[in-house]
Chains A and B, each alone.
Chain A
Amino acid sequence: NAGVTQTPKFQVLKTGQSMTLQCAQDMNHEYMSWYRQDPGMGLRLIHYSVGAGITDQGEVPNGYNVSRSTTEDFPLRLLSAAPSQTSVYFCASSYQSLAGGVETQYFGPGTRLLVL
């Protein structure tokens, strides 16, 4: 298994440009999420999905869109990039345990985004 993969690894954008960060997992996990990591802030949840066709907002959703058409893929879209979106973005996936809670989240290697 490849686990959680993310592309690209690094991207430079100009303010106002759009782009999509790709995330895929081959573990058949129901739950997927996007986090951003900023110095001194830890990781903050942007959006998450509990299954194909179901998405919801996290802590910092503004400026980002997501969709989940398949179990495997969970792309993150920036419609009009802003310098405040300069960050490292991590995708994660997990499955629901028999007890109903969420088990360990598996993280991708990250996408480093610079918005000029």
Chain B
Amino acid sequence: GNSVTQMEGPVTLSEEAFLTINCTYTATGYPSLFWYVQYPGEGLQLLLKATKADDKGSNKGFEATYRKETTSFHLEKGSVQVSDSAVYFCALIDSGGSNYKLTFGKGTLLTVNP
């Protein structure tokens, strides 16, 4: 079956530090990959996505590249801000045409201190 493994948190950084949150996956087909972000007290919002190998998703200074050879989709940001403090979820959908099930990692809590 499908699974997503992401680095366990919590991660605590100082403002302007470099961020990496690792994510690897197992899938039977050719998945689409996502990063969702959950700010305190809110629902999940899509941060970025990639639908095929070597695609790079980017948004709000965050980037992630779909690496089929290493089955990875690591999230990076060059300079984090206090407002980036949130829980980040890596997820996949197996794009086999009829599989609608979004599989999530367990989430990584990021805290950015001023």
Judged by a CB distance under 8 angstroms, whether B101 is at the interface is yes
- Of B41-49, B62-70, B74-82, the one touching chain A: B41-49
B106 at the interface (CB under 8 A from A): yes
List the B side residues contacting A59 at CB < 8 Å.
101
* A71 located at the interface, meaning its Cβ lies under 8 Å from any Cβ of chain B in the complex: no
* Contact B104 A42, beta carbon cutoff 8 Å: yes
B residues contacting the other copy or chain, number (CB 8 A): 23
Judge if A53 is at the interface, Cβ distance under 8 Å.
Answer: no
Taking CB as reference atom, which chain A residue is nearest B4?
Answer: A42
Which A-chain residue is minimally distant from B102 (CB atoms)?
A105
Interface centre among B95, B100, B101, B102 (most CB of A within 10 A): B100
Residues of B within 8 A of A40 (CB): 106
Closest chain-A Cβ to B62's Cβ sits at a distance in Å of: 15
Are the C-beta atoms of B107 and A58 separated by less than 8 Å? Answer: no
Q: Are B106 and A104 in contact (CB under 8 A)?
A: no
Instruction: Mark interface residues in B77-114 (1 if CB within 8 Å of A CB, else 0).
Output: 00000000000010001010110111111110000000
Given contacts A40-B106, A101-B32, A101-B93, contact A45 B101 (CB under 8 A): yes
Say which residue of B44, B49, B100 sits within 8 Å of A90 (CB atoms).
B44
Q: Do A101 and B43 have beta carbons less than 8 Å apart?
A: no
Q: Are B104 and A43 in contact (CB under 8 A)?
A: yes
- Confirm or deny: A33 has a beta carbon within 8 angstroms of a beta carbon on chain B: yes
Q: Which of A6-30 contact B (CB under 8 A)?
A: none
- Considering the complex of A and B, which 5 residue pairs feature the smallest CB-CB distances, nearest first? A101-B95, A107-B43, A42-B106, A100-B97, A42-B104
* Chain B positions near chain A (C-beta within 8 angstroms): 32, 34, 36, 42-46, 49, 51, 89, 93, 95, 97-98, 100-107
Q: A101-B32, A104-B49 are in contact. List 10 more A-B contacts (CB 8 A).
A: A43-B89, A45-B101, A45-B103, A59-B101, A92-B102, A100-B95, A100-B97, A101-B97, A105-B102, A107-B36
